[in-house]
Structure 1
Amino acid sequence: MSRWGLTIPLTGLPLTEHREIVESLPGLGYTDAWSAETNGTDAFTPLALASQWAPDLRLGPAIVPVYTRGPALLAQQAATIAGLAPGRFVMGIGTSSDTIVERWNGIPFDEPYKRVRDTVRFLCKALAGEKVKEEYDTFAVKGFKLDNAPAEPPPIVLAALRPGMLRLAAREADGAITNWLAPKDVRTVRSELGDDPELIARLFVCPTEDADEARAIGRWMIAAYMTVPVYRAFHEWLGRGDALRPMNEAWAAGDRKKALEAIPDEVVDDLIVHGSPADCRARIREYVDNGLTTPVVAIVPTKGLPLTDAVKALAPSAG
C-alpha cells in the first residue's frame, strides 16, 4: 500500500502534546497527516506544526470550507503551508455543511456546487502566481496576486459526496475526499470519479474488541452526521435511505433516544471500523482493495487502548 494517513490532532489530546506522536509517524509507516475543521482546532495550524515536526509527511486539510474564509485568504493560507512543506502539501476544500456555515458562522449556504467550482478555479490561478481579476458566479476577485506563490503549486482535492461534486473533482481538481462510507461504497464513488484521480477517505476507527462499546459510540457519531442534509442525501445515494429513515424521523421529531436505537447494527458495522487493531488494519485494506487511494485513520478513543498505543497498533508497520 502506498499511502496511509492519520487525522491530527487526535481527539482529546491537546495540540501541544502532539510533537512526539507526529515525529514518530513516518517510522511507523504513516505517509500522511490530515487535519479537519469543525468546532475544534482550525485546519491549518496543526499542519504548520507537523510540517516542522515530521518533514517527510504529506500534509492536507480535509477539509477547509470554501465559505468561511474569503478566496484571497484561502490562497494565502494554502501558500503558507505549501511554503513550509514544499511538494508535500495538498489543499483540500469543500462546502462543509449548512450547520457549520450557516448556523455557526452566520454565512448563507448558497449554491454550494458553484461556490466550490469557483473557488477551485480561483485557487488554481492564484497558487500558480497569476494576478486574478475575475467575476465568478458566487464572488468576484479584483486584482489579487500572491506575494508568496509556491514554486510548486499544491494539488487541490475536493470534498465530494455525490455525483455532481465527484465529477467536478475529476474534471477540474486533482482528486476527491470523502468519508462515512463502507468498503463496498468505494466502488460506487469510483463509478463517478473515475479510476485515475486520487481518492482520499477519512475512516473512523474504533480499536476495541468490545462490539457493544464500539456500536454505542458509533451510533452517536452516525446520528450526529447522518441527520445533516448533505450526509443524509449521500447515504440515500449509497442505498442506505431506508435503513436510516427511522433514525431521521425520530431525530426530526426530537426523540434522540429513539433515533439512536433505530440505527441498525449493520449500518454501524458498515461505517465504523472496529475490532482488534489487526482486524481494523485488515478492514482498512478492504477499502484500498475496492479503489481507495489514501485511507486516513481517525482514531475514535475507547476505554481500553490509550491514543498513543492506538497510533502504533493501527500503523502499517504493525502488520
Structure 2
Amino acid sequence: MTDREIHLPVAAQSGIDSLVSYTRQAEDEGYERAWLPETWGRDAVSVLTVLAERTDTIELGSSILPVYSRSPALMGQAAATLQEISEGRFRLGIGPSGPAVIEGWHGESFERPLRRTREYVEIIERVLSGEPVEYQGEIFQLSGFRLRSDPPEPAPPIDAAGLGPKSVELAGRFADGWHAVVFTPDGIRERLADLERGAELGDRDPSMVRTTLSLTCCALDDRERARDLARQHTAFYIGGMGTYYRKSLARQGYEEAANAIASAWGSGEREAAVEHVTNELLDELCAAGTPEEARESIERFEAVDGLDAVAVSFPRGASEAEIETTIDALSP
C-alpha cells in the first residue's frame, strides 16, 4: 500500500505557526509523514526542530537539503540532532539541487553533483554510526571527526533526490530512498527501472529503497482556481528553476511543451508559459481540480508499482486556506 504524506509549502507562509498548523492537521488526518524543503525561505533544520517539538506521532523529513550549502559532517550532526529531538521520527532527504540555486543563491560552483551526493551519503552514514570519521574521497578528505554525543538509535535513513537516470541509479545504489518531483506516472515507471539497476549494482534489494513522489495537488470546490494554481506552479518549475526540470520533462515525452514553456518564461512572457501547460500535461503532472477529481488523480500515481509514498505538495500561489482545504480533501 502506498503511503500518503505531505510536502509542506515554502512560499507565502505567514510564519512558522502556519507550518506547525499544517503538520498538526496532517497528523490528525492520518498522513504518514511531513516533508519540509529548503529553498529560499526559512531554513529547514530550524523549522523541523519546531515541528518535532510540537507534534507527537507524524514522521518528519527534509526534502531536500542541498549538498552544497552544508558540509557533510554538519549535515550528519543535524540529522543526528533531529532524530534525537523527534524521538526517532526523522528521515534525511538530500540532493544536489541545481546551478540556479547553488551558484546563484549560494555562490558555490556546481561541480560533480552525483559524486558529491554519493560522498555525502557515505560520510553522513559514518557520522551517524558514532565512530571516528576517516574518509578519503575524490571530493572530501576527512579525519578526526566524531560525534561527542550518543549516536542516534536507530540512525535516520538517508534519501537522495534525483531526476535523471544516473542520479536515480545512484539513489538505488547508495541511499535508503529516492525522492522524485515533476514526474508523470509513466515517467516514474521509467526511472524506477534505473533505481532497480542501481540497487542491483549495489547488491541490494530494490524493495528496500523507499521511493517518494512529491505531487503538486490542489483540491477546491472552485475547479478552475485549483487548476490555474497548479498550472502556474508547473510553469514556474519548468521555466524558472533552471534546466533540470525542463530536461526531465523532455525525457518523459514532452520535449516540445517543455521547451515552449522554458522559452516563454525566459523571455518574460509568463502568461504564455502558463498557457503552454496544456490540460493533458497538467493532468499528467498534478492532481488538481475538484476534491473528487484530485483524489482520482492522486490514486493514479499511487497505483504505480514500486512507488512507496506520494507526498501531497501545494502550488506556490495557494493561500493558507486553500492549503488547509487540500490537506483535508486528500487525507488518507
Give me the TM-score of the superposition, normalised by structure 2: 0.87
Q: Percent identity?
A: 30
User: Does the residue aligned with 1:125 lie in a helix, a strand or coil?
Assistant: helix
Match of 1:293 among 298, 308, 312: 308
Q: Alignment RMSD, CA only? A: 2.2
AA aligned to 2:323 is L
User: Does the residue aligned with 1:158 lie in a helix, a strand or coil?
Assistant: strand
Distance 1:86 1:2, change over 3 A: farther
5+ unaligned residues in a row in structure 1: which ranges? Answer: none
User: Does the residue aligned with 2:313 lie in a helix, a strand or coil?
Assistant: strand
Distance 1:303 1:74, change over 3 A: closer
User: Does the residue aligned with 2:3 lie in a helix, a strand or coil?
Assistant: coil
5+ unaligned residues in a row in structure 2: which ranges? Answer: 197-205
Match of 2:295 among 272, 276, 281: 281
AA aligned to 1:226 is I
> How many angstroms apart in 2 are the aligned matches of 1:200 and 1:182?
13
Instruction: Name the counterpart of 1:235.
Output: 249
User: Does the residue aligned with 1:34 lie in a helix, a strand or coil?
Assistant: strand
Q: How far apart are 1:102 and its partner, in Å? A: 0.5
Contact 2:66 2:95 in 1 (8 A): yes
Instruction: Name the counterpart of 1:29.
Output: 30
Between 1:270-279 and 1:213-222, the stretch displaced more is 213-222
> How many angstroms apart in 2 are the aligned matches of 1:297 and 1:222?
15
Distance 1:273 1:106, change over 3 A: same
Instruction: Give matches, 1:110-189, under 5 Å.
Output: 110-148=111-149, 149-189=151-191
User: Does the residue aligned with 1:104 lie in a helix, a strand or coil?
Assistant: coil
> How many angstroms apart in 1 are the aligned matches of 2:10 and 2:268?
31
Contact 1:8 1:46 in 2 (8 A): no
Instruction: Name the counterpart of 1:100.
Output: 101
Distance 1:32 1:217, change over 3 A: same
User: Does the residue aligned with 1:103 lie in a helix, a strand or coil?
Assistant: coil
Instruction: Name the counterpart of 1:89.
Output: 90
Contact 1:207 1:305 in 2 (8 A): no
Distance 1:162 1:39, change over 3 A: same
Contact 2:227 2:289 in 1 (8 A): no
1:7 equivalenced with 2:7 (yes/no):
yes
Q: How far apart are 1:282 and its partner, in Å? A: 2.5
1:213 equivalenced with 2:225 (yes/no):
yes
AA aligned to 2:105 is W
User: Does the residue aligned with 1:273 lie in a helix, a strand or coil?
Assistant: strand
Contact 1:202 1:298 in 2 (8 A): yes
Q: How far apart are 1:172 and its partner, in Å? A: 0.9
Between 1:231-240 and 1:30-39, the stretch displaced more is 231-240
> How many angstroms apart in 2 are the aligned matches of 1:91 and 1:262?
35
User: Does the residue aligned with 1:80 lie in a helix, a strand or coil?
Assistant: helix
Give me the TM-score of the superposition, normalised by structure 1: 0.91
> How many angstroms apart in 2 are the aligned matches of 1:251 and 1:302?
20
AA aligned to 1:192 is D
Q: How far apart are 1:69 and its partner, in Å? A: 0.7
